[in-house]
Structure 1
């Protein structure tokens, strides 16, 4: 019994040691930020930390509601990108004719600058309508007493913002799945032939698991790309989410609020990334991540 607490204590100490460089970097970033702001001496050009906190806290209810809207869309975009990327990547990797037909189109589509397409996704779903999967109360309503937060609801929906985020995050998973499945070592191909494995069995027991490290590595990139895609869609062609708040801060010349929104996005992105990596480690075989 005593070994278990000792093991946990050792793991906790090891985790704390690993976080020291991150914390030191964060403190250094804050010190540099405040130093530059003090040297410039103009909050309309480069906001100080106290000025940023003041303007952000004045709109804290709005920030909470909008950041939850954004990361609800990010969650949908991330799931769509991963599922479609893996499934279509497996199909294209396995069927040579389809690969030859589709790869030039995929390369061409990937070469198009993503922000150019954001208004198109918004327009398509404005015309066709959103697909709402689930509607629920904003979790912040159970913590904050603001009337605005209490009345806000969130929706897991396939809409213009989430599909554009999925489009941006789709390509790394898709291409990595194809690469990983086509990298199966020759000895495993011979083993499958000796065992009489069918094409589907080769995919199920060999090719997919060979591609797993590639897929998990690309999923970590997809986390960030999905966030980028959603926020770009929000401040280019949407009127909701935290991305739109950047546009409002720019129009109102509220630089402190803009800085605060950016910091909130950074913290939310870091948290979402850590949750995604932890989930990958929990559901995939050891060594895949």
Structure 2
């Protein structure tokens, strides 16, 4: 189909039927390599969410500490992750642990920024209410800051899960001998473009499904706001 148009070659861009055939022919191989990627992506995502949220809470407790450490955090996270992947392999060795760290590091920064910005937002009325009832710092975060920050933190999670999956795949390029990233590398080495595109399609489906699950959790947890995956207009 694509070659008949005279514009592109099927060798470079296989038609949908070739991608589907490659998926069916290599279905067991793809499934076997999907679980390591999903595991690395979700563990990296979980590590990023926990560490980013805790870091944001700790930094937001003191404006002086925030002003002192934020430039350091931004500068560290502005370094391209791929360039530091060999260093992680040198210190941690090749394997799944390195892959988890790459995925977590890639996903950390957007989650951290969203958490920092949202936790720092508190209205004057809420501030006066905390002062009136002499609320402790824990009570202020538990009942006001964290609930108010949840919508924006979920936005950070949606970006983080995509980046965690990307980090997991990048880690598989250099750190492991399993996973969809490793499988796509093998497919490209063998010029099996149908399989390579099938792997990309599987990765896209996984990321979309993960975001859909996050929307469902957000919709249940933040029931006072409309956060449906499929928005409808009245």
Please say if residues 98 and 175 of structure 2, whose CA atoms lie closer than 8 Å, have aligned partners that are also in contact.
Answer: no
Within the alignment, does 1:115 sit opposite 2:53 as a pair? no
Partner residue of 2:208 out of 270, 276, 286 = 270
The match for 2:162 is 224
Alpha carbons of structure 1 residues 37 and 237: separation in structure 2 relative to 1, 3 Å: farther
CA separation in 2, counterparts of 1:51 and 1:217?
36
TM-score normalised per structure 1: 0.72
Partner residue of 1:234 out of 172, 184, 193 = 172
Alpha carbons of structure 1 residues 213 and 65: separation in structure 2 relative to 1, 3 Å: same
CA deviation after TM superposition for structure 1 residue 248, in Å: 0.6
The match for 2:62 is 95
Return the structure number with greater strand share: 1
* 1:202-252 residue CA offsets vs partner (Å, 9 max, x unmatched): 222222222122111111111111111111111233322101111111111
Say which structure, 1 or 2, has more relative contact order (CA 8 Å, 6+ apart): 2
The match for 1:105 is 72
Please say if residues 78 and 226 of structure 1, whose CA atoms lie closer than 8 Å, have aligned partners that are also in contact.
Answer: yes
CA deviation after TM superposition for structure 1 residue 188, in Å: 1.0
* 1:10-55 residue CA offsets vs partner (Å, 9 max, x unmatched): xxxxxxxxxxxxxxxxxxxxxxxx5x45424632122122222233
Which consecutive residues of structure 1, in runs of 5 or more, have no partner in the other structure? Answer: 1-33, 131-156
Following TM superposition, the consecutive aligned residue runs of length 4 or more in structure 1 with deviations greater than 3 angstroms are none
Secondary structure class of the residue paired with 2:93: helix
RMSD: 2.0
Number of equivalent positions: 226
Which consecutive residues of structure 2, in runs of 5 or more, have no partner in the other structure? Answer: 228-234
Please say if residues 165 and 227 of structure 1, whose CA atoms lie closer than 8 Å, have aligned partners that are also in contact.
Answer: yes
